[in-house]
Structure 1
């Protein structure tokens, strides 16, 4: 602005010049610290609470479990005799303890089907279609239901003469013992697992797909790319880290399946998993030391499989532009 103001006809008026205030030295006049000189311990007060909870409820129980695995504790008495590696020797010298891991192959196959189906629906529902929010809610709803309730619902669903037999009977299919036949029970239980956990993968995939810049779709459309080509060359490479994460969750979940087979069959008819076997060792046979050793071995297997997967399929930074 001009420093002059017209006060009258032809009489310029000059605003009085005010000297800028001198900066007084004091705490308020200190220069701001450069970004690189921040104290290194600044974030730690904010991390103390979550770190304390993590250590208390995760790492301390793991250490206790490892200590129990070196004893012959029965879970009831105060006496805990140190036996060293005897529990681990007992585990690895009895092949039947690890034969139940073959049951996990059914759930691993179910997890692969679950990821494919979830990725298919996530891709479709990421585009602008009618009632997509309704379908998202319908597909995600099973994951919100308690696992015990799901087990009892499908227990009646698979019973002889139940819902499944009634529906299949309309197409001329004879009733079968879905949970009583050792050749069908694991396939049936894996199908329940697919139905329940598909919603989790669906949400992960939808979130990853919606984070892709829309300019990539526009460029692909201008180049004449079809929906399949957009998925192959735009969507799949962009959400590769989320697919890798889902694969890790699927493998660890297949190795540690518990609630669905435990509620629906109790581990009978060749449906016993490694976790169910460990629970029976601890609470049915009062061998907490041996069960703790089995839990430590399962944890080591999950960590080893995760490390191998990370080694074979490393995470790559995806540049979206």
Structure 2
């Protein structure tokens, strides 16, 4: 009986370390964050003053805080374009083309770079007289140079483009791995039936990688809501580029309003969970047959 009990409990012994780390470094901080959100606290005092739902009311009623949600729209649009570009190149490079491995490396390389390094590189690219202006001038397009980060009408487009350039490689690798997992016999049968590349993409590739496409949309939308590195490094949130996470960071560490910043973080977490739930309802994770 003792040996049978140990055999039944042994799987939990393997899970226990990972579960302990998950609880200590994820669920406990989230619980503390929710607790802080109902208080006013500067992060230094020993005591915290309860304020009920006041922090949440301020997040949704103070224009300074809810307006930054609109900036995420630029990144959402860029993330959809990123998925389209990644899916296109993953489809093309899944077939036999020249220099296929070279293009794979070129597309995936930006994702390997540190986000801070990417921010500084593109900061020099977009600055007045920087790389982009120099290239435009060299091609006789000097009249089209702009304040790419200084103009509020262009700054968010520049930052969203930078984010798209960086994360396209991740979506590309996910799509490419999923496409290559589709059995080659299906393509051979489709070619015998006269299907061209477009038909193979529409009736074989898209249904076959539906789960990965759904996952990519979830990652894209949640990532768009939580953008931080690119705008913080390149503009510091100036010129209308302050995102919700940058605003929360400044609220917590610059203005020492930990309770309000925690409420903003809880709102962001709730939004991501709701978007993920809606996504899963629209695109359920069921078995999809190739048609």
TM-score (norm 1): 0.86
- Go from structure 1 to structure 2 and tell me whether the alpha carbon gap of 1:173 and 1:237 turns closer, same or farther (over 3 Å shift): farther
- The answer (yes or no) to whether the contact 1:179–1:188 under 8 Å persists in 2 is yes
Deviation string, structure 1 residues 199-220 (Cα, Å, up to 9, x no partner)? 0001100110011011100001
The SS at the match of 2:149 is coil
Cα pair 1:213 1:320 within 8 Å, conserved: no
Deviations for 1:268-301, whole angstroms, at most 9, x for unmatched residues?
A: 0000000000011111111001100110011111
Q: Which residue of 2 aligns with 1:137?
A: 105
Of the structure 1 ranges 86-95 and 295-304, higher mean CA displacement relative to structure 2 is found in 86-95
Residues 1:104 and 2:66 aligned together: no
What is the DSSP-based 3-state SS (H/G/I as helix, E as strand, rest coil) of the residue aligned with 2:40?
A: coil
Give yes or no for contact 2:207–2:290 (8 Å, CA) kept in 1: no
Task: Note the C-alpha offset of 1:160.
Answer: 0.7
Instruction: Give, in angstroms, the shift of residue 320 of structure 1.
Output: 6.0
- Segments of 5+ residues of structure 2 without an aligned counterpart are none
Report which of the two structures shows the higher radius of gyration computed on alpha carbons: 1
The aligned residue for residue 22 of structure 1 is none
Aligned to 1:126: 94
What is the CA deviation profile of residues 131-153 of structure 1, one whole-angstrom value per residue up to 9, with x for unaligned ones? 21121111111101000000000
Aligned residues: 286
CA RMSD of aligned residues (A): 1.7
Structure with more of its chain in helix, by fraction:
2
Q: Which runs of no fewer than 5 residues in structure 1 stay unpaired?
A: 1-32
Could you tell me whether the CA contact under 8 Å between 2:119 and 2:234 is conserved in 1? yes
SS of the residue corresponding to residue 50 of structure 2 reads coil
Q: State TM-score, norm by structure 2.
A: 0.94
Q: Given the alignment, which residue of 134, 156, 159 partners 1:166?
A: 134
* Equivalent position of 1:179 in the other structure: 149
Whether the 8 Å CA contact 1:212–1:320 is kept in 2: the answer is: no
The residue aligned with 2:62 is 94
Equivalent position SS for 2:98: coil
Higher relative contact order (CA 8 A, sep 6+): 2
1:99-155 deviation digits (Å, cap 9, x = unpaired): 111111100010011000000111111112222112111111110100000000000
Given candidates 220, 225, 238, the residue that maps to 1:268 is 238
Matched, 1:240 2:216: no
Structure 2 counterparts to residues 28-47 of structure 1, below 5 A: 40-47=8-15
Distance 1:190 1:260 in 2: 9
Taking the aligned partners of 1:151 and 1:222, their CA distance within structure 2 comes to 49
